[in-house]
Amino acid sequence: MQSATISRSTRASRIAAGLAVILVVALAAAPWWTSSANLRLFTEFMIYLALASSWNLLAGYAGLISVGQHAYVGFGGYLMFSCVLFLGLNPLYAIPIAGVLGGLIAIPVAFFVFRLKGPYFAIGTWVVAEVFRLSAAQMSSVGGGSGLSIPVSAMRALGSKSEREILIYLTAFALCIGAVVVIYLVLRSRIGLALTAIRDNEIASLSLGVPIGRIKLAVYVVAAAGTAMIGALIFITKLRISPDAAFSVNDWTVFVIFIVVIGGIGTMEGPIIGTLLYFVLRESLADLGAFYLMILGALAIVIMLATPNGLWGLVVKRFDFSLFPVGYRVRGLTPKSD
């Protein structure tokens, strides 16, 4: 009898991992080999990839389909502004604070929205984001409904214009890679196994002792913390905040959902493919204005009808390949021939 071995990676995935490391190192060094316009584009790419990865963790792995993550983007942005205006902090130092407070505020929010199931959970999270937006518009100390700009002195603390751009890019890079690595490690851990079980069959996993409620809450809080940190960074790059921009459902939720769905929901690779495609489409079709958004919406619908696992789902189906091996594979087992 032949003995079977269990492994997580394949030769292809190890080669891919090697190439990915080279790419990551190259990206870390981007400020030294690319123009400042490209650096700003790369920063935005990192921001969207981080947002997409955290929404994917939430919806693709924990089954929490939120359409209200813009609540945390705006929360992070406003928190960063408050830290700068009232505490005189360096804007970058506000990012970890936004993470902690974003995670904390997600707990009472979860108390409300977790009472709603499935699609109603989705719209419930949207209501919460509306509450955040309307509350921000009521706070005159942060500019009320019309918003305000970041003080020039606060940005000077980050150095000259080019130094600032490099610093912001490296922060976006760190947040993005950090988000991807954290999610990868979570998915390979016991929590990842539990999440897979929940995704495949919630009732069966509950009966096997998976603490569904606690795990979902933990994932929701982690995703909120990550999103709030990215929100703080987004508004450092924008230099100006207003309730409508901070809590924009289009910019921070619709695009992010389309990115994940088109790339492949419930896979680590999906958000990367989706973000790449999103930027390619945006750079080539943005002149079309409203038509561009219609094309994006239609693309999401077509993907859902034709290949619900997204573009990466097609790759996996065809080549059985994984860049981020989070599952297990058994080899050496020969099928019985009786």
Quote the CA–CA distance of 236 and 165 in Å, as a whole number. Answer: 10
Residue from the set 4, 6, 107, 123 that interacts with other proteins by CB under 8 A: 123
Near other proteins by CB under 8 A: residue from 166, 182, 218, 293:
293
User: DSSP assignment, residue 158?
Assistant: T
Q: Extract the runs of DSSP E, i.e. beta strands, from the chain.
A: 5-7, 148-149, 240-241, 329-331
Of the candidates 121, 68, 235, the residue with the CA atom closest to the CA atom of residue 168 = 235
Beta-carbon contacts of 258 under 8 Å, excluding residues fewer than 6 positions away, are 274, 278, 296, 297, 299, 300
Q: Which is nearer to other proteins, 51 or 168 (CB)?
A: 51
Tell me the closest approach of the beta carbon of residue 298 to other proteins, in angstroms.
Answer: 6
**How many Cα atoms within 13 Å fall on the side-chain side of residue 95?**
18
CB of 59 to other proteins, least distance (A): 7
Region binding other proteins by CB under 8 A among candidate stretches 71-79, 85-93, 122-130, 215-223: 122-130
Going by their DSSP bridges, the two strands 240-241 and 148-149 should be labelled as antiparallel
Q: Does 139 bind other proteins (CB under 8 A)?
A: no
Closest Cα partner for 272 from 170, 183, 193? Answer: 183
Tell me if 37 contacts other proteins by CB under 8 A: no
Closest CA to 259 of 297, 224, 233: 297
Closest CB 294 distance from other proteins, rounded Å: 5
298 binds other proteins (CB under 8 A): yes
Please, which residue, 13 or 54, has the CB nearer to other proteins? Answer: 54
Question: Concatenated DSSP letters for 97-163?
Answer: HHHHHHHHHHHHHHHHHTTS-HHHHHHHHHHHHHHHHHHHHH-GGGTTTT-EEPPHHHHHTT-SHHH
Asked if 265 interacts with other proteins (CB under 8 A), we say: yes
Residue 296 interacts with other proteins (CB under 8 A): yes or no: yes
Map tokens 């459902």 to a residue: 249
Residue 6 found at the interface with other proteins (CB under 8 A): no
Nearer to other proteins, 10 or 135 (CB): 135
Q: Does 65 bind other proteins (CB under 8 A)?
A: yes
Report d(CA 43, CA 173) in Å as an integer: 7
When the beta carbons of 128 and 158 are compared against other proteins, the nearer one is 128
* Of the residues 50, 179, 273, 300, which one makes contact with other proteins according to CB under 8 A: 300
- DSSP code, position 334: P
For residue 7, which phi and psi values (nearest 5 degrees)? -135, 165
When asked if residue 67 is in the footprint of other proteins (CB under 8 A), the reply is yes
Q: Does 127 bind other proteins (CB under 8 A)?
A: yes
Report the nearest approach of other proteins to the CB of residue 37 (Å). Answer: 28
Asked if 257 touches other proteins (CB under 8 A), the answer is yes
Q: Which residue ranges make up the site for other proteins (CB under 8 A)?
A: 59, 65, 67, 111-112, 115-116, 118-120, 122-124, 126-127, 130-131, 134-135, 137-138, 249-250, 254, 257-258, 261, 265, 290-291, 293-294, 296-298, 300-301, 304-305, 308
